[in-house]
Amino acid sequence: MEYNPHRPEYWDNHAFEDNMKLAFDVCNGCRLCYNLCPSFPELFRIVEAYDNDATKVTRDEMDRVADLCFQCKLCYMKCPYIPPHRYDLDFPRLMLRSKAIRAKAHGISRSDRFLGNPEQVGRMGQIAPGVANWSLKNASMRRLMERMYGIDHRRHLPKFAPTRFSTWVRRKGQAAMPPMEEVDVVLFSTCTVEYHEPGIGQAALEVLRHNDIRVVVPPHQQCCGMPALDGGDIDSAVKRAQYNVQLLAPYARAGKTILALQPTCALLIKQDYPTLVPGDDAKVVAQKTQDVTQFLADRMKRGGLKKDFQESPGAVTYHLACHTKAQGIRRAAKDLLEAIDGCQVEMVDRCAGIDGTWGLKAQYYDEAIKVSSKLTERFHERRSTTACSDCALAGLQIETATDKPPLHPVQVLAKAYGLGGDA
């Protein structure tokens, strides 16, 4: 199967349909993923209607299954047919290929163009964040937003911060880039932190500096590209990936660790940049990228973090995000936080049903709520504890159950140290 958009076979409709029919046949015969997301029940229903003959599946039916895939990556972790198996099945990437081919043939929808450009959305919100945040709660404005951009009016949306993270960094003294030999780690801040949750970036900087880890935040970072991929906009995703690789490659080649502050961005850089950006630079950047929680947990385990904590968070309910798990990171946050005296972590391993832009859209909102129901139920039961998640988008679902956004593990750690930046 073909997953590289730089190869002609990727865009060949006949080759694509053959790949989809093979995937439908394999998945229908296996069914390990029957309960993971809405794609698989729909796939099984379609193939069963043809007496289990996947060769009869139509293109519209293929597209319907692809549109129900929200890229949680859980099926990839469970699938026995992933590369290097002879079937070479990567279901999530195949579904992205479906969207990319349609986008190239028919254009990118207004909704996907809007959601696929988080920098533009962030800059718009930053013009007058107070007004922008008011509009997020105004029923008439939300109905208008749904009509214009397809974002469900019931969806909790991330608020716009009064100050961008990069602006806060400059104000705190990083006016000039330090020499390479004075850098230990590099922060890839992500759009979420830049425009909506600068507190995550502030906490990361303070925790790293408190532990004498020399950190730099390269200016003018761009979105990792995942929102564009979600809408099939391969060209925009590739351009963003190329830019970030060029920005980060000198640090990676010098042996510096790149710390991504959101799991989706870390996953994309590690798994997809080497495909999106041909050449060795993307591979080196991918190899040197880590999720910030994993990095801190590894340091804590090796005795590389201080334990001069000023307070304990007590009971913490931690959401294990799908894209954290897809990186092979399951216990990092739990191990990190339980190194704080008096902290007990209960882990909730349930999908939030948002994963990029899918759960924001009106046509999938009800499915997203259904997927996240077990997650939100558990957080609702434990509202008195500290809610925690690596993924701010998943936090939108958690917020519906707790009435406040969860903290990132690095924010819990910073608070335990007695650190606190001003947004």
Half-sphere exposure of 153 (CA within 13 A, CB side): 12
Convert the pLDDT of each residue in 247-257 to its tens digit: 999 999 999 99
Using DSSP, how many helices (H) and how many strands (E) does the chain show? 25, 7
At residue 423 the predicted structure's pLDDT band, cuts being 50, 70 and 90, is very low
Query: For residue range 74-122, what is the model confidence (pLDDT) as tens digits?
Result: 999 999 999 999 999 999 999 999 999 999 999 999 999 999 999 999 9
Q: For the residues 366-394, what does the mean pLDDT come to?
A: 91
What pLDDT, on a 0 to 100 scale, did the predictor assign at position 316? 96
Asked if the model's pLDDT at residue 422 lies above 70, the reply is no
Least Cα distance to 387 among 319, 334, 340 occurs for 319
pLDDT band at 181 (very low <50, low <70, confident <90, very high): confident
* pLDDT of amino acid 176: 66
Tens digit of each residue's pLDDT (9 = 90 or more) over 5-59 = 999 999 999 999 999 999 999 999 999 998 888 999 999 999 999 999 999 999 9
Longest dimension (CA), the chain: 66
Average pLDDT of the segment spanning 225-235: 94
* Cα-Cα-Cα-Cα dihedral sign, residues 296, 299, 304, 309: positive
The answer to whether residue 393 scores a pLDDT higher than 60 is yes
Tokens of 320: 């294990």
β-strand partners of 316: 345, 386
374-384 pLDDT, tens digit per residue, is 999 999 998 88
The number of residues making up the chain comes to 423
Element (H, E) at 140: helix 139-149
Beta strands across the sheet bearing 344-348: 344-348, 315-319, 386-389
With a pLDDT cut of 90, the percent of the chain lying above it is: 86
User: Of 6, 33, 19, which Cα lies nearest the Cα of 272?
Assistant: 6
| Closest to 188 (Cα-Cα) out of 89, 295, 105, 114 | 295
Q: What is the mean pLDDT of residues 377-392?
A: 92
Q: How far apart are CA 366 and CA 154, in angstroms?
A: 10
Mean pLDDT of 287-302: 97
**Which residue has tokens 């947004």?**
423
Cα 271 to Cα 280: distance, rounded to the nearest angstrom: 14
| Average per-residue pLDDT for the chain | 93
The one-letter amino acid code at 336 reads L
CA 153, CA 175: separation in Å to the nearest integer? 40
CA separation for the pair 419, 324 (Å, rounded): 25
Q: Do 116 and 108 meet the contact criterion of CB atoms below 8 Å apart?
A: yes
Coil vs helix vs strand at 109: coil
**Contact assessment for residue 293 and residue 324, using Cβ atoms and an 8 Å cutoff:** yes
Which CATH number describes the domain made up of 307-417?
Answer: 3.40.50
Q: What is the residue extent of each domain of the chain?
A: 8-106, 307-417
**Residue closest to 201 by CA, chosen among 186, 212, 211, 213:** 186
For 132-147, what is each residue's pLDDT tens digit?
999 999 999 999 999 9
